[in-house]
Each structure stands twice: as structure tokens, then as C-alpha cells.
Amino acid sequence: MKYLVCGAGGFIGGHLVKNLMDEGHEVICADIKPLQYWFQIFEENLNYSLDLKSYDNCIKVTKNVDYIYNMACNMGGMGFIENNKAECMLSVLINTNLLRACIKNSVQKYFYSSSACVYNGLKQKETFVPGLKEEDAYPADPEDGYGWEKLFSERMCRHFKEDFGLETRVVRYHNVYGPLGTYDGGREKAPAAICRKIAEAKMKKLKEIEVWGDGEQTRSFMYITDCIEGTKNIFNSKFNEPYNVGSSEQVSINQMIEMIEEIADYKISKKYLLDKPKGVRGRSSDNTKIIKDLNWSPKLPLKDGLKLTYNWICNEMNSGENSLKFRRS
């Protein structure tokens, strides 16, 4: 079987490509970034650098492909998605044109990477809220811009299944983190950003880091290996409705900072920037459905994953070998 991974030059996509290759699959890769900025490059693959918002490009990369993983979108951390709503919403063209190309080129199965940003904001007004269940996406009130694009694209997958018989799979990721991803430049997410800030403070003997908001906002964070395992479990299952793929271990940003301080063996004070983008007040994943249907949930505790991530970021900051690709805006 031949796989196409869209967004292969990105964080999750790069890890997925490696996993599929380790299993012996033939993998075609596509990403909008120039090859030198892909987080992981496997030269033995057919690697396309092109814009998948174009229908013609989608037709090109899906020829003779059996299965597609669509990880491609224009996104980043909260600072990026709150200030680039139109750019985020244009990613709907990627999903739409890939789905059309699937029908044209007789692709067997299509995977769409959605997000916890689809969930109703009214259920995320307090810290340490109950985990979000899949049905909590409706009535619809997702994150403006990015969340609406994800929710609309989920519906597209549903209707392509209903109208054309295309096998589709959808997951809603909850804050994936780990090595070989962006840690600076404006698109990084909270775990990578805080690891970088504390590592930099320790290197320069600084006593303070900036924290967006009051640090009491809560999230759950899932390590990349758990993400890939959950992704493939859903892809290989019989279920075509959306599933949460995320950790139920909910922590505040302040609690995560304390974990990273302990990992780094370096204490800092915090300067809270209350005017910066903060997102919803509280969010985590309810894994009841995926445990019931697939007997699976993420395994790696947050502190263990943060240690791996912190050590990788420190090595990158010290070596500078690949710093440009992981620090782009």
C-alpha cells in the first residue's frame, strides 16, 4: 500500500512519516515549505514542496495513492492563531481539494487531523473543567478562525463519506508536543515555549521569564509518540466519526512551569503578561469514547515527556545545527 502524508515537513507529519517508513511502507511526502525547512527529511521518499490549497497540486500528489494522512494546515500556538484567523481559515482549501482529489483518483481512505479548538467555548470558561467529550463540539461555538476551519473540514469528511463512499477518519488533537518541532519564532506551543524560556534563562543566568496570562489557564498535553500511536489506531479502526486523541492529565501553565523548573534544576520568577493571547480558560480531553471503542489512551506522563523535550531543546540551542528550521516564524 502507498501512503501520502500531507504536511510531512511539519512536526506531527514528520514523526508519522518516520513511523510508517519504519514499518516498511512506501510513503510520498508533501508540504508547502521548501525542503530545507522540513523538520525531518527522508531523501529516499518522493518529496513534494508545493501548495496543497491548489486543486491541481492535490490531483498531482494523490495519483496512485491508497491512503492519505492530511496533517497540513497553517497553524501555530495561541499567539499565531489569534492573530492570523484568515490565514488559518484558508487551510479549508487544503482539505476540500484533497477530498475532491480522493474521489478523482480513487483513494481508499482519508485521515483528517482536527483539533480540540473545535469545542464549544462555553464549556471552557473555568480552569480545571471536566474533560471535553466528542459531543461537546455542538452546538457549535469553536475557536474563532482556526477552530471554525477545523469543524467545517470535519463536516466535509463526513459528507464525502455519506455522498461518495470515501472512507474517512477524523481525530481531534489536544496540544501535541515533543522533540523535532518548533520551539521559537511565534508558532511554538506552550510546552516548547516554556522549555526554551527556562533553558535560555539558565544559560544566561536570568531570573525571570514572561508568561502569557496569569498562568492559571489549564490544558492537557500529549507527547508525540502517543499522538502517532493514537492516530494510527484510529486510522486502522472501523470508526469514521471524530475521536479525541489527547491526554486527560490537566495542568495549569504555572504547574507546567514548576515541572520544567525541576527538570532544569533552575528556579525563576514569572512576569505575567495579561494582555497577551491566552485562549480558553480550561481544556482537557475526555477519553471515555476511545478507551471504550479501542482500549487506548495516551501513556506517557507529562513530566516524562517534558524532560525529553527540554533536553532536546537545550541541545538544539547549544549546537545551533538545525536551529533555523525549528525557529521560523
Q: What is the pLDDT of residue 166?
A: 98
Please give the Cα distance from 59 to 39 (Å, whole number).
Answer: 25
Q: What is the pLDDT of residue 322?
A: 54
Q: What is the pLDDT of residue 187?
A: 85
**Nearest residue to 181 (alpha-carbon basis) of 21, 29, 18, 38:** 38
Q: What is the pLDDT of residue 144?
A: 95
User: Which residues are identified as catalytic?
Assistant: 146
Residue length, the chain? 329
Beta carbons within 8 Å of 320's beta carbon, 6+ residues apart = none
Q: Domains of the chain: which residue ranges?
A: 2-174+224-245, 177-219+249-280+300-326
For the chain (329 residues), the mean pLDDT of every run of 10, in chain order, is 97 98 97 95 96 98 98 85 90 98 98 98 94 98 96 98 98 97 90 97 96 96 98 98 97 98 98 92 97 98 98 90 61
Query: Which position has the grid cell 518541532?
Result: 181
Q: What is the pLDDT of residue 41?
A: 94
Q: What is the pLDDT of residue 77?
A: 76
Which one of 3.40.50.720, 3.40.50.20, 3.40.50.1820, 3.40.50.880 gives the CATH number of domain 2-174+224-245? 3.40.50.720
Q: What is the pLDDT of residue 190?
A: 94
Domain 177-219+249-280+300-326 has CATH 3.90.25.10: yes
Return the C-alpha cell found at 204. Answer: 544566561
Please give the Cα distance from 1 to 258 (Å, whole number).
Answer: 46
Count of Cβ atoms closer than 10 Å to residue 322 Cβ: 12
Which amino acid is it at 176? V
SS3 content of the chain, % helix, strand, coil (to 5): 45, 20, 40
